[in-house]
Amino acid sequence: MAEGRKIVALVVAAGSGTRAGGGGVPKQYRNLGGKAVLAHAVDQLARAGADEIRVVIGLGQETLYAEAVGDRPLPPPILGGAERRISVLNGLEAIAKDGGADIVLIHDAARPFLYLDVWERVIAAVEDRALAVPALNTVDTTARGGETLGDPVDRSDLLRVQTPQGFRFDLILAAHRAWAGGEATDDAQIARAAGHEVAVVRGDPRLDKLTYEEDFARAEALLAALMVSRTGLGFDVHAFADGEELWLGGVRIAHDRGLKGHSDADVGLHAVTDAILGALGDGDIGTHFPPSDPQWRGAPSSRFVEHARALVEARGGRIDHVDLTLICEAPKIGPHRPAIRTRIAALLQVPEGRISIKATTTERLGFTGRGEGIAAQAVATLRVPEGE
């Protein structure tokens, strides 16, 4: 980008298409690899270098949008219209009202995979020729037809046009304002109708739009191929104390003593939290929930586990397995093992088959052997996108 230029990415997420299934949820809000398709698109644009990201949503999608973007630092969404063209124009007008831009990249929310090389090619072409789109050559035989096959079409000069489409902001805003041709298939069509030449740069097959259920299966496979496995280890210990409740693995257990700690002292959930944070390379439980902070006094440790899970999801990762070992002479863990497993699986939102609960003693050696407290060790295996 030339020095001092402002690049705004405009994400069009106002559609209501459900051809991909998803139980009636528009495809841009469907879960893909732990987060919404829209969130993938926004994160990729942010990594590529957009100075600002604006999102256009449909009427009634406010809750879906808020859940999809979470706490990402985005301006308020822009309300779209009944047609894509109107949604884009509403977005461009909002950008203009807020000070405009030098370059705008208009991107479909249903294209979650944007790679830096495509971004750089589009930006370079816009700086050189004012308007540019990524596209791919058509390699399959192309023919007319409906229920029966018709005549083949010469594919030598056919292109599959993708997004993000890049434009000098003033040119595409003026072209949209002047458009009078009904619905348009994309913004390059509107630019060409205004008399502008649109440059073509090489796109990427991974940029294809998600439309049908099989597209989501392909996207999940692509995400899996791009993920790396990480393992974290968590360890915690708490001493017994009179007058305290005993919580282990998110389950209250009847016992003559509980564990002493700033929160509810659930040694099992503390170890699980630290294991997940360790796999993420994101500090430890004390970093996120300092014992010096009074708001965590007596807090349920389930909140710590849910926080760690949310961090995994925010990075587009997934939890593959958690193995927790509780170390104590008493109480006996065996009778409570199924309930603990069920509770931890629910907190992490994974099947119970991905959770292992074990118990052991130290043969009456050390502080646990003397019945002075309980220790816990946990191992968490995650997959996160490469580079996270």
Q: How far apart are CA 106 and CA 92, in angstroms?
A: 9
Residue 23: predicted pLDDT: 60
User: pTM for the complete prediction?
Assistant: 0.70
Q: Which residue type, as a one-letter code, is found at position 224?
A: A
Q: Which of 246, 365, 339 has its CA nearest to residue 301?
A: 246
Residue 387: predicted pLDDT: 61
Q: Which residue has the tokens 């699986």?
A: 345
246-248 and 251-253 strand pairing: antiparallel
Give pLDDT tens digits along the chain (388 positions).
Answer: 445 799 999 999 998 865 544 567 999 999 887 789 999 999 999 989 999 999 999 999 999 999 999 889 999 999 999 999 999 999 999 999 999 999 999 999 999 999 899 999 999 999 999 999 999 998 888 888 888 998 888 888 899 999 999 999 999 999 999 999 888 989 999 999 999 999 999 999 999 999 999 999 999 888 888 789 999 999 999 999 999 999 999 999 999 999 999 899 999 999 999 999 999 999 999 899 888 888 888 899 999 999 999 899 878 788 999 999 999 999 999 999 999 999 999 999 999 999 999 999 999 999 999 999 999 999 999 998 776 5
Residue 182: predicted pLDDT: 84
Q: Which of 294, 336, 276, 72 has its CA nearest to residue 285?
A: 276
Residue 226: predicted pLDDT: 78
Backbone angles phi, psi at 230, to 5 degrees: -135, 150
- Our measurement of the distance from residue 264's CA atom to the centroid of its chain's CA atoms, rounded to an integer in Å, reads 31
What would the 3-class secondary structure string for the chain be?
Answer: CCCCCCEEEEEEECCCCCCCCCCCCCHHHCEECCEEHHHHHHHHHHHHCCCEEEEEECCCCHHHHHHHHCCCCCCCCEECCCCHHHHHHHHHHHHHHCCCCCEEEEEECCCCCCCHHHHHHHHHHHHHHCEEEEEEECCCCEEEECCCEEEEECCCCCEEECCCEEEEHHHHHHHHHHCCCCCCCCHHHHHHHCCCCCEEEECCHHHCCCCCHHHHHHHHHHHHHCEEEEEEEEEEEEEEECCCCEEECCEEECCCCEECCCCCCCHHHHHHHHHHHHHHCCCCHHHHCCCCCHHHCCCCCHHHHHHHHHHHHHCCCEEEEEEEEEECCCCCCHHHHHHHHHHHHHHHCCCHHHEEEEEECCCCCHHHHCCCEEEEEEEEEEEEECCC
Residue 210's alpha-carbon distances to 122, 141, 163, 290, in angstroms, are 21, 22, 12, 42
Tell me the two tokens of residue 235.
Answer: 């360890």
Residue 315: predicted pLDDT: 80
Residue 1: predicted pLDDT: 40
Residue 3: predicted pLDDT: 57
Q: How far apart are CA 78 and CA 149, in angstroms?
A: 43
